Copies of this chain bind each other. A is one copy, B any other.
């Protein structure tokens, strides 16, 4: 991977023409790819699934559910957060609660769905 990938802000839901509509610009492709990368891992898919299903979950519940260390969960959650796919953690007592940002995931789907336009 010789070329370093540009660093851009991806916390907002993506907003660009659908992939299938016309050949995508370099910049838009990067926006899409970075968000997909955030989700392209089995552990992250399961985390998103858990967050989407139960609407507020804390790290201590997630870690045993997916079978990795809490440190690793924390790392994955921050990747999902940076991609705007989940909310900032909200501390309540000793726990930190996260929730999925459905609109961000939905926006991503609309962009890559070949039928969605």
Chain A positions near chain B (C-beta within 8 angstroms): 5, 19-24, 26, 29-30, 32-33, 36-37, 39-46, 48-50, 52-54, 65, 100, 102, 105-106, 108-109, 112-116
Contact = CB atoms under 8 A, between A and B. Distances in A.
24 contacts: A5-B42, A19-B45, A19-B52, A20-B49, A20-B53, A23-B54, A24-B46, A24-B49, A26-B42, A29-B45, A29-B46, A33-B45, A36-B36, A36-B39, A36-B45, A37-B41, A39-B40, A52-B114, A105-B114, A108-B112, A109-B109, A109-B112, A109-B113, A109-B116
Contacts of A21: 53
Contacts of A44: 33
